[in-house]
Structure 1
């Protein structure tokens, strides 16, 4: 569904520069300096309306989080949720994460979350899937040696594709859950999409993978 344009979004993002990083590419290799504490850094690619990243920041004050979201009409809601959560371990970035290596130095990130990414189901769009091998190359570069990638999706096709892609790249699959909510994982922080699909009885899939040292 197309989000309604919010003409005030630009001003809102600038006014809240304590959360929204205005020049993210200038912080490559220095992201830890933006946080009050020197802690592991986790990033979410495609933060949407921010329920996940605000919830994770509240649940894990020992971790610093960076949420990346391109749509201005969506990220404003995420920023508001972070403010409402009253956490100080989140930064938001309003850019296209087409190449993470432009924004982060090698070995700078500890964990990457891919939550309900666009499945790009047509074969000709395979290169756009966030688990295509060119994206995995980026993740491997910016992640520390023991860093992980966690994928959650309601799309069975994307999930199966990602499992094959991870394995073909040589990654270690540490978890494969075909019914995440059936596990009743108390540490699972849901996204808005996740709640919507789960309410309809749609299985939620999750996998965790790491790069071999």
Structure 2
């Protein structure tokens, strides 16, 4: 669905210190953005921000960067963290294909990818956020032993992503084809997940660790 342009969103976003318009200026220096040396976790494609809000509230001793492309989406993420008085999240407008150079070596401890576009056609698969090309970029800033937590409802994407991870020096440490009926205890339900689980959607999930 195409988003209607919200011309007022960018000025409101830029009025907040939680919104980082020039993320490359802080590569290797994100601790200065947060004002502490706590570990930094990253969500790629944060949507309206339910996941990142809940995760950051559960872990106030960790820092979070929420990335998405559209101001029309990010404005709701920003409003949510302000309304809930969350201090440990920063919001970044970015095409994830251009993430190279945004973070320094070993600067990120964990990456979350929730229900990204499955890009099912062969000619589009390189656009998948779990594709080997993207994983090569993430490895530039994900510390050794760092993790990627990946959720999807698309079995083709899931099974091919397992291979992408294995080919890219990641070890799959946890895997389930039915997250909500698994033994995993730390799931935070996204907006998308909440809507479609009730319609019978099964969520597939894995944790991949960088060797």
Shift of the alpha carbon at 1:157? 1.1
Distance 1:184 1:132 in 2: 27
1:101-123 Cα deviation digits (max 9, x unpaired): 31011111100111110100100
Indicate the SS of the match to 1:39: coil
How far off its partner does 1:184 sit?
Answer: 6.0
Q: Is the Cα contact below 8 Å between 1:111 and 1:149 reproduced in 2?
A: yes
Q: Distance in 2 between matches of 1:166 and 1:185?
A: 20
1:187 positional shift:
2.2
Residue aligning to 1:211: 210
1:102 alignment counterpart: 101
SS at match of 1:208: strand
TM-score by length of 1: 0.95
Residue in 2 aligned with 1:4? 4
Alignment partner, residue 43 of structure 1: 42
CA distance in 2, matches of 1:200, 1:10: 35
Residue aligned with 2:96, SS: coil
Q: In the alignment, does 2:29 pair up with 1:30?
A: yes
Aligned counterpart, 1:122: 121
Gaps of 5+ in 2: none
The SS at the match of 2:150 is strand
1:58 partner SS: helix
Query: Any residues of structure 2 matched to 1:109-148 within 5 Å, and which?
Result: 109-148=108-147
Q: Secondary structure of 2:20's partner? A: coil
Q: Deviations over 1:140-192 (max 9, x none)?
A: 11111111111011111111110111112231001101111112644211111
TM-score by length of 2: 0.96
Look up the match of 1:200.
199
CA distance in 1, matches of 2:141, 2:169: 17
Distance 1:111 1:69 in 2: 17
Say yes or no: does 1:20 pair with 2:16: no
Residue of structure 1 in register with 2:56 after alignment: 57
Q: After the TM superposition, which segments of 4 or more aligned residues of structure 1 sit over 6 Å from their partners?
A: none
SS at match of 2:95: coil
Structure 1 portions without partners, runs of 5+: none
RMSD (Å) for aligned C-alpha atoms: 1.2
* Aligned equivalents of 1:140, 1:14: Cα separation in 2: 30
Post-superposition CA distance 1:75-116 (Å, at most 9, x none): 101111111221100000011121433101111110011111
How many residues of Structure 1 are paired with residues of Structure 2 in the alignment? 211
